Structure 1
Amino acid sequence: MQRYSKASAIVFGLMMTVLCIVIAVETVLRKFLGHSLAGVDELSGYAIAIGAPLCFTVAVIEQAHIRINLLHMKMPAFLQAATNLLAALTLAGLALFLLVFTARTVQETQLFQSVAQTPWATPLIWPQALWLVGMSVFALAAVLLAARAVRLALAGRGTTLRRDYGPDTVENELEAELSDLEARA
């Protein structure tokens, strides 16, 4: 799963780097030559739509999504495991819902052969197909992690479920920050 996460992060990073370069070129052309590439805002929208599910993928795999663990750390161990399982299942449910929504949108776009109402008049099936791929990557990761959480729960491995699916403790976060600081020094 770490390779999956890293690949998603690299693709997103490359997309955003290219987008930044295009925006910089657009800005310079407008400022000094009075010329516009036209459509950079359209490209930005596509990049965000395609990149967002890739970021979701990294967050779900790395357990980097925001969670409020004030109550979680006060719960008994079995309840922590149960809430971690519930969180994994609901996140997988959300990912599947988003995937179905995206797939229906792409089907509609294909049916009506929709094009963007922009200077480029881009056939929307192209960026939306990439959006569907990104959402599929996110849904697959979320479902695989939820399935693993269910297997752990059914096997009675609550400790592993708490460790792998629970929020980081303050000690773990401190240790990670200190090792990061040491690596930079």
Structure 2
Amino acid sequence: MKTYSRTCAIVFGLMMTVLCVVIAAEIILRKVFNHSLAGVDELSGYAIAIGAPLCFAVTAVERSHIRINLLHMRMPRLAQAILNLLAALALAALAVFLLIFTIRTVSETKLFGSVAQTPWLTPLIYPQSAWLVAMGVFTLACVILAGQALWLAVHRDSVELVRSFGPETVEDELEAELSDLEARA
């Protein structure tokens, strides 16, 4: 799953780098040559729509999402395991719901042949298809993680369920920072 997460992060990073270059070119063209590419804002919207699900996938795999663990860390291990399982299942359910919504949106776009109301008149099927793929990447990550959490729950492995699906502890964060510091030295 780490390779999956890293690939999503690299794709997102490359998309944002290209977008930054295009925005910089747009600014230079406007200021120096009094000319506009007319559509950079459209590209930005597409990049965000495609990039967001990729970031969601990275966040799910890396356990980087925000959790309020003030109470979580004070609960018994079994309660923590149950909450972690519920969180993984709820995130997978949300991802599936979003994927279904995306599929319906792309289907309607294809049915009506919708185009963007911008100077480029982009057929929306193209950026929305990329959005659908990105949403599928997010959903796949969440379903795999939920399956792993469910597997651990069925096998009553609450220790691993807490370790693999719980929020990072202070010790985990300290260990990660120290290993990062060691790698840089």
TM-score normalized by the length of structure 1: 0.98
SS at match of 1:75: coil
Determine the structure 1 residue equivalent to 2:109.
109
Indicate the RMSD between aligned Cα atoms, in angstroms: 0.7
Detail structure 1 runs of 4+ shifted over 3 Å in the superposition.
none
1:131-163 per-residue CA deviation (whole Å, 9 max, x = no partner) reads: 000000000110011011001000011100000
User: Where in structure 2 are the equivalents of 1:70-149 lying within 5 Å?
Assistant: 70-149=70-149
**Are residue 18 (structure 1) and residue 18 (structure 2) matched?**
yes
Letter in 2 for 1:22: V
1:31-60 per-residue CA deviation (whole Å, 9 max, x = no partner) reads: 111000110000000000000000000000
Determine the structure 1 residue equivalent to 2:33.
33
Give the Å deviation of 1:77.
Answer: 0.6
SS at match of 1:182: helix
- Matched residues in 2 for 1:174 and 1:4: separation? 24
1:100-137 per-residue CA deviation (whole Å, 9 max, x = no partner) reads: 01110001101110000001000000000000000000
Percent identity, aligned pairs only, is 69
Determine the structure 1 residue equivalent to 2:160.
160
Ranges in structure 1 where 5+ consecutive residues have no aligned partner: none
Aligned residues: 185
Ranges in structure 2 where 5+ consecutive residues have no aligned partner: none
Determine the structure 2 residue equivalent to 1:58.
58
- Matched residues in 1 for 2:52 and 2:8: separation? 10
Letter in 2 for 1:62: E
- Matched residues in 2 for 1:114 and 1:106: separation? 10
Determine the structure 1 residue equivalent to 2:181.
181
- Matched residues in 1 for 2:172 and 2:4: separation? 23
- Matched residues in 1 for 2:62 and 2:176: separation? 13
